[in-house]
Amino acid sequence: GSHNPRSTVATVTEIMDYLRLLWARVGLPHCPDCGKQVARRTVQEIVDDVLWRFEGHALAIWSPAVRNRKGTHADLFKALVEQGYLHGKVNGREEDFENPPELEKNLRHDIDVRVDRLRLDRANRQRLTEAVEAGLRLGAGAVAIESLKAPKPKKSDDPDEMRFQTKEGDTTAYSEEFACPEHGAFL
């Protein structure tokens, strides 16, 4: 341990526990792999953020079913099709789960399920909520939203309008757990 007299006083008076708690509450956790801020979000917080960032966009809602795991995953493809999930990405390439690619069982794979596709507006908030809930269930607490087609940009002098414009092709990941949605590093 430290031989600094202040640390001795803090430990002896048990203030150290309170200081640790204080710093844990003040600090913002970040993923050790990518450095992005990590936060726990409720379904409604995710839906609100998606509506704010992606309103007017054509979206795909993705769920990470497999991350960096070995196997052919034939049983998973069959189960997904039985649940009505017919499309997704296997190792980054779009695939049809009814005719899935034959995967090398000794290599590690990533499989993402496309939970839904929709054009986002306030009227289909319920559909978005259901898709986010299903995605979080499938993806063990993680879901990603991808902009497939962005609306035509409006001319605006309002800085609030310009503060955040999601571009076509942008993907934002969310986590219901205290984990990086991209790396799954739980904190």
Q: Encoding tokens for residue 156?
A: 């605006």
In this prediction, residue 73 carries a pLDDT of: 95
CA 33 vs. chain centroid, Å, equals: 15
Q: For residue 37, what pLDDT is reported?
A: 73
Domain boundaries defined on the chain = 1-30, 43-175
Q: What is the dihedral of CA 153, 159, 160, 166, to 10 degrees?
A: 40
Do residues 26 and 92 lie in contact, with contact meaning Cβ atoms separated by under 8 Å?
no
Q: Under a CB-based contact definition with an 8 Å cutoff, are residues 96 and 86 in contact?
A: yes
What pLDDT score was predicted for residue 35?
76
pLDDT given at position 9 = 62
What pLDDT is stored for residue 30 in this prediction?
75
pTM listed for this prediction: 0.74
Give the pLDDT score at 29.
75
Buried b (16+ CB within 10 A) or exposed e, 116-150: beeebeeeeeeebebbbbbbbebbebbbbbbbeeb
Average confidence (pLDDT) per 10 residues, the chain, 187 residues: 64 73 74 76 93 92 93 95 96 94 94 95 94 94 90 65 68 80 56
Question: What is d(CA 98, CA 179) in angstroms, rounded to the nearest whole number?
Answer: 31
In CATH, the number for domain 43-175 is: 3.30.190.20
Q: Which pLDDT belongs to residue 185? A: 47
